Chain A
Amino acid sequence: MDFDVIIIGSGPGGYVTAIRAAQLGLKTAIVERAELGGVCLNWGCIPTKALLRSGDVYEQLGHLADYGLSADNRGYDFTKVIERSRKVAAQLNSGVAFLMKKHKIEVIEGTAKLEKGGPAPKVVVALKAGGSRTVQAKSVILATGARARTFPETGLVPDGERVWTYREALVPKTAPKSLIVIGSGAIGIEFASFYRALGSDVTVVEMLPRILPVEDEEVSNAAHKAFEKRGMKFRVPANVKKLSKSKTGVAVEIEVAGKAETLTGDVAIVAVGIVGNVEDLGLEALGVKVERTHVVTDGHGATGVPGLYAIGDVAGPPWLAHKASHEGVHCIEHIAGLKPDNLNAPIPGCTYSNPQIASVGLTEAQAKDQGHEPKVGRFPFRVNGKAIAAGETEGFVKTVFDGKTGALIGAHMIGAEVTEMIQGFALAMTLEATEAELQATVFPHPTMSEAMHEAALDAFGKVLHI
Chain B
Amino acid sequence: MSIDILMPALSPTMEEGTLAKWHVKKGDQVKSGDVIAEIETDKATMEVEAVDEGAVEELLVPEGAEGVKVNTPIARLSGEAVGSPPPPPAAAKAEAPPAPKEAPKRQAQTAAAPASQPASTPAKAPDGGRIFASPLARRIAAQKGIDLSALKGSGPHGRIVKADVETAQPGQPAPRPPAVQPAASQATAAAPRQVLSLEQQGIAAGSYDLIPLDGMRKTVARRMTESARDVPHFPLNIDLEIDTLLAARSKINALLEKDGVKVSVNDMVIKAAAVALKRVPEANASYTPEGIAMHHHADVAMAVAVPHGLITPIIFQAETKGLAQIARESKDLAERARERKLKPEEYLGGTFSVSNLGMFGIKSFSSIINEPQGAIMSVGVGEKRPVVRGDQIAIATVMTVTLTCDHRVVDGATGARFLAAFKALIEDPITMIV
Contacts and interface: CB of A to CB of B under 8 A. Distances in A.
B2 interface: no
Contact of B114 (A341, A344, A434): A434
A460 B114 contact: yes
A432 B118 CA distance: 15
A436 B120 contact: yes
B117 interface: yes
A278 B139 CA distance: 44
A436 B119 contact: yes
Given A403-B114, A440-B105, A434 B135 contact: yes
A434 B114 CA distance: 9
Contacts of B117: 406, 434, 436
B237 interface: no
Contact of A405 (B115, B118, B143): B143
B139 A406 contact: yes
Nearest to B137: A432
Interface string A395-430: 000000101111100000000000000000000000
B135 A375 contact: no
Contacts of B163: 342, 344
A92 B139 CA distance: 44
B244 interface: no
Contact of A341 (B119, B135, B143, B155): B155
Q: Which of A404, A406, A432, A436 has the most CB of B within 10 A?
A: A432
B346 to A, nearest CB: 40
B139 A437 contact: no
B202 interface: no
A206 interface: no
Contacts of A437: 119-120, 135
Interface string B95-120: 00000000001000000001101111
B134 interface: yes
B114 A435 contact: yes
Interface string A179-215: 0000000000000000000000000000000000000
A433 interface: yes
A460 B115 CA distance: 6
Given A341-B155, A407-B162, A436-B119, A431 B114 contact: no
A172 interface: no
B154 interface: yes
A15 to B, nearest CB: 25
Nearest to A428: B135
B135 A433 contact: yes
A257 B114 CA distance: 44
A461 interface: yes
A404 B156 CA distance: 25
B137 A436 contact: no
Contacts, number: 57
Given A341-B156, A437-B120, A431 B134 contact: yes
A424 to B, nearest CB: 15
B130 to A, nearest CB: 16
Contacts of B140: 405
Given A342-B154, A437-B120, A432 B136 contact: yes
B315 interface: no
B231 interface: no
Contacts of A341: 155-156
A431 B157 CA distance: 13
B419 interface: no
B259 to A, nearest CB: 61
Contacts of B118: 436
A432 B139 CA distance: 10
A433 B156 contact: no
Contacts of A401: 114
Interface in B158-172: 161-163
Nearest to A402: B114
Interface in B251-295: none
A436 B135 contact: yes
Contacts of B161: 432
B120 A434 contact: yes
Contacts of A433: 134-136
A461 B116 CA distance: 11
B132 to A, nearest CB: 11
A440 B137 CA distance: 18
Contacts of A435: 114-115
A434 B136 contact: yes
Contacts of A461: 115
B241 to A, nearest CB: 65
Nearest to A430: B134
A405 B154 CA distance: 20
Given A405-B143, A431-B134, A433-B135, A375 B119 contact: no
A439 B163 CA distance: 24
A401 B114 CA distance: 10
Contacts of B120: 434, 436-437
A404 B114 contact: yes
B94 to A, nearest CB: 31
A375 B134 contact: no
A437 B136 CA distance: 10
Nearest to B162: A432
A406 B118 CA distance: 11
A406 B162 CA distance: 12
Contacts of B155: 341
Contacts of A432: 134-137, 161-162
Nearest to B115: A460
Interface string A53-65: 0000000000000
Contacts of B105: 440
A405 B140 CA distance: 6
Nearest to A460: B115
A460 B112 CA distance: 13
Q: Which of B115, B120, B135 has the most CB of A within 10 A?
A: B135
A432 B105 CA distance: 19
Contacts of A436: 114, 117-120, 135
Nearest to B156: A341
A439 B105 CA distance: 12
Interface string A422-466: 000000000111111101100000000000000000001100000
Given A342-B154, A437-B120, A440-B105, A407 B136 contact: yes
A342 B140 CA distance: 20
Q: Which of B118, B139, B162 has the most CB of A within 10 A?
A: B139
Interface string B210-244: 00000000000000000000000000000000000
A41 B323 CA distance: 91
Interface string B113-151: 011011110000000000000111101100100000000
A434 B139 contact: yes
Q: Ordered nearest first, which 10 A-B pairs have the shortest CB separation?
A: A406-B114, A432-B134, A432-B136, A436-B119, A407-B136, A460-B115, A440-B119, A434-B135, A437-B135, A433-B135
7 contacts: A341-B156, A403-B114, A404-B114, A405-B143, A406-B117, A407-B162, A436-B117
Given A341-B155, A405-B136, A440-B119, 4 more contacts: A344-B163, A407-B139, A435-B114, A436-B120
Interface of A: 341-342, 344, 375, 401, 403-407, 431-437, 439-440, 460-461
